[in-house]
Amino acid sequence: MFPKPPKLTEGAGVTDDPPQETYWKVENGIRLSGMPGFEGTLSAQQMWQVSLMLANANKLPQAAKDVFAATHAPAVTPNSGPGTKAR
């Protein structure tokens, strides 16, 4: 992906953005990045909830970060991915 997706719970790139900027990104998406806009899918209240959660993601307790990472991490196996044949 370009730009490379930021880590949501650490470093710069998401938690240092003002919530209104993150709201715009959630609503409209980010061109050429693979992130769609969610206008029409989420309500304005839900987009604000996502934006505020992302603005404070670095302040989440470690247990919440662990759950978030475990439930949203892509499954990677040695025999999956582009160019592999089904057996």
pLDDT at 54: 87
Domain definitions of the chain by residue range: 19-60
Phi then psi for residue 35, to 5 deg, are: -95, 115
pLDDT at 11: 67
| Confidence band of 15 (pLDDT split at 50, 70, 90) | confident
Residue pLDDT, tens place only, 29-79: 988 778 899 999 999 999 999 999 888 888 889 998 888 777 665 555 555
pTM of the model as a whole: 0.67
pLDDT at 75: 55
Q: How far apart are CA 77 and CA 20, in angstroms?
A: 38
